[in-house]
Each structure stands twice: as C-alpha cells, then as structure tokens.
Amino acid sequence: MRFFSKTRKKEGILVTSFHADGICVARVERQPAAKPIVKLAAFHPAAPSLSADALSRAARDAQANNYVGSTLLAGGEYQLLQVEAPNVPQDELKTAVRWRLKDMLDFHVDDATIDVLDVPVDKSGGNRTHSMFAIAARNSLIQSRQDMFAEAQVPLSVIDIPEMAQRNISALMEPEGRGLAMLSFDASGGLLTVSFNKELYLARHLDVTLEMLQEHDVERRHAAFDKIALELQRSLDHFDRQYHFISVSRLMLAPTGVSSLQDFLSAQVYMPVEPFGLDEVFDLSEAPGLNSLEQQVRHFLTLGAALRHEELVL
C-alpha cells in the first residue's frame, strides 16, 4: 500500500487514529466557501488501542463501511526526510529516491515502504533548489496495520502522516500570498510546519511532549519552553534562508491548554504568535463535544487528516 494514491470512492473519508488510551474516529464534510463541518469526532477508550477488537468496536459505531477508510501513523512509526529531487523520469522517481535514502534511514531501505511529496520551487525562478519529502515506514509496520484492519473487517485505503494532517488545517488559515507556521503538541512531541499556497514546505519534530508543557514544576516547564523557542528560531531562520520567496505571516499555536506558551514565544520569535481553537477552522455545530479544550487537543490531527481532498487519497 502506498501512502498517497487515488481512489474513486465518493462517500467521504473516515479517519481512525490510535493513542495510548484509545482510538479517535473523525469525519469532516467540506463546504464550498464555508467552514468544513465536523460530522463525527468520537473517542473510544481502549487499552491496548492497537487491536482488531478495539478497532472493530470503534468502526462499528462510526459505520465505517460507508466511507473511505484512513488511518494516521504516529510519531516514531515512520521517517520524513527532505531530499534533493532526482532528475529522472516520473516512473523512475521512487527508485531514485529509495537509493538516496539508503544511508539516511534507521533501518535497511529494502525493508521500507516509501512515498514522496514534492516541494514546489519558486515560480519566479529565483530558487533553483528543488527538493521533496520522502516518507518511509517499515514494511512490517505497514503490513501489521493492514492486517489489523482486515481482521477487524474495516476498510483501509489511506495511510496518512501528522505532517500532512497539520498542513491541511494550516492551508485553511493561510493569508493570501503568504506562508503560515503552525505548532502543535501531543503525547509523542511537538510538530512545526510551514505551509504556503496550501503546500507543505517545512516539517520539524520537537522533542517536547504535551505532558512536558503541562508540567506543574515551573523550572521544568520553562526548560521545555526554552527548548521549543530554540528549535523555532533555528528552524525558521533556516526556512528564511532556503525559501526567501515565502514571507511567513505568523505562528499559529494549536490547542494545548497552556496559555503561558503564547506569551513566552511571543518574546522569543520575530513574528506574531497566535493561539487558535478548532471553531476557527471547523463548523462544530454537529460535534458539541469539541467545545471541550481537552477534546480539541485529542482530535486535532485526526480532524486534519479528515480534511484530505478525495482526489488526493488512496
């Protein structure tokens, strides 16, 4: 199974993501010239969550068989690497990228499922560097995920990654002609992305978890804040040098429940830092549970994955 391939199924996308304490299931309906409507955002407690029985129960409640099935990999289950785009015909691209990854992965490249995502170049021709993202996951992990869905008799056509889920949300918030930086946190760590013209240009993982942000000990919490600020400064400075044709308007903070993070980062980075809630992106009228900050944090990436356009899915 590829990460990004096409389907003709039209019923919509149902996204399932697995967490330490349960399973999130989400479905979104896009509207022309209006906010996407969250049709479903449900959490099913389960331990372990990565089991066919838990998946079957969650999928049954969501009527999964009516939709294109999607799942979201978690941090640590794949690698996202930026590489120079090979100058080869399209049908040779995957092979060329696989060769370039052979010394970059933490496992043997022959054991990898690989897909690629293009990074558009400067249309004015000022930036001659053409790069792309390579996504690699162990064949064994992809196979085990497929087997679990098959055992649970739940459709699976899309395997997505958090960077693309966050890009989907960022793309809805971009100001015309400018880029947007976005920062989110969950149990696996932080994720910084920059999107421009609805394309992903930067993705960085931060070794700071949501739990570390919510630490009661002030010194430990501020140590985490310092770590975030340093990584932001390095990443955004590098981005400015590499993509000088993109002006990043601001840094948006996904829901965390940590209000002091905005004030801290505003004093550390050169651009405006703004928190946002999911009600600024989605119509939540059919999902009243998402008025809870805890549920917004829990469902953030799952809802982002549910925004995937159908013409781009597996």
Q: Encode pLDDT of 29-43 as tens digits.
A: 998 889 999 999 999
Class of domain 79-138: alpha beta
User: Mean pLDDT score of the chain, rounded to an integer?
Assistant: 92
Question: CA-CA distance, 213 to 185, in Å (whole number)?
Answer: 9
The single-letter DSSP state of residue 72 is E
Written as one string, the DSSP assignment of 126-169 is -----EEEEEEEEHHHHHHHHHHHHHHT----EEE-HHHHHHHH
Please give the structure tokens belonging to residue 196. 């421009």
Question: CA-CA distance, 84 to 11, in Å (whole number)?
Answer: 37
Please give the structure tokens belonging to residue 38. 């969250």
| 41, β-bridge pairs | 26
- Rounded mean pLDDT, 8-32: 88
In the chain, where are the structural domains located? 79-138
Positive or negative torsion for Cα 179, 184, 190, 191: negative
Question: CA-CA distance, 202 to 54, in Å (whole number)?
Answer: 35
Q: By C-alpha distance, which of 107, 101, 62 is closest to 82?
A: 101
pLDDT band at 122 (very low <50, low <70, confident <90, very high): confident
pLDDT tens readout for residues 245-284: 999 999 999 999 999 999 999 999 999 999 999 999 999 9
The region of weakest confidence among 112-126, 148-162, 184-198, 203-217 is 112-126
For the whole model, what pTM was predicted?
0.92
